[in-house]
Chain A
Amino acid sequence: DTVLTQSPALAVSLGQRVTISCRASKSVSTYMHWYQQKSGQQPKLLIYSASNLESGVPSRFSGSGSGTDFTLTIDPVEADDIANYYCQQSNELPYTFGAGTKLELK
């Protein structure tokens, strides 16, 4: 299975730029997607295919990367962005998710 590794947590200040990383154990091309999950809610798609912004998602979110290294950037961070963020690959079955990065306020 393809293992996705994320930093467990990041502390940010409002208005700051933050990058959340995801590293795959093997190349997934650009078959990488990002989800946001707020406490008590279902995950929400933010970015698909590494860099495509899902409809309705604010433009302060962006994604980049290919192969094994990917990043999700939020610029600037707003209070509403405090949540867990998961990367997910669909290059091969089984689809797998990263362990998640918890975005916290400094």
Chain B
Amino acid sequence: QVKLLQSGAALVKPGASVKMSCKASGYTFTDYWVSWVKQSHGKSLEWIGEIYPNSGATNFNEKFKGKATLTVDKSTSTAYMELSRLTSEDSAIYYCTRDVTTVVPYFDYWGQGVMVTVSS
């Protein structure tokens, strides 16, 4: 069965960076885009961007350009997101998703989420 297993919670200092992982299993990793979604405490969902593992192509929400870097390791079926120059506004839960794009893009599987806390 399809699973997206994300790395553990992170406590990071303001101004630092954090890199999180999303290990996919149960499907062909290179056939599906992977998106990343932010959920601030008690708030809604924001799409950060997506990456196509087969080619490394990416699309970003303009709001997160310069903040998020997306990469993949095809050999381990793992997607990564690095967030830089962290502030308190970056404290949130971050989800990775598998994107179905056969006709209309949507997110059919979600990881369990990574809680990032930015605090000195």
Q: Which residues of A contact B (CB under 8 A)?
A: 30-31, 33, 35, 42-45, 48-49, 54, 86, 88, 90, 93-100
Q: Are B106 and A43 in contact (CB under 8 A)?
A: no
- How many residue-residue contacts, CB under 8 A, span A and B? 57
Q: Hey, which chain A residues are within 8 Å of B108, CB to CB?
A: 45, 48, 54
Residue of B35, B46, B61, B104 contacting most chain A CB atoms (<10 Å): B104
CB closest residue in chain B, given A91: B104
B residues near A42, Cβ cutoff 8 Å? 95, 110-113
| Main SS class of interface, B | strand
Please determine whether A45 and B44 come into contact, CB atoms closer than 8 angstroms: no
User: B100 near A: Cβ within 8 Å?
Assistant: yes
Say yes or no for B32: interface residue by CB 8 A criterion. no
B7 to chain A, nearest CB (A): 14
- Once A31-B104, A49-B104 are accepted as A-B contacts, the answer to whether A98 and B44 lie under 8 Å apart by CB is yes
Determine if A99 and B44 form an interchain contact, defined as CB atoms under 8 angstroms apart. yes
Q: Is the CB of A48 within 8 A of B47?
A: no
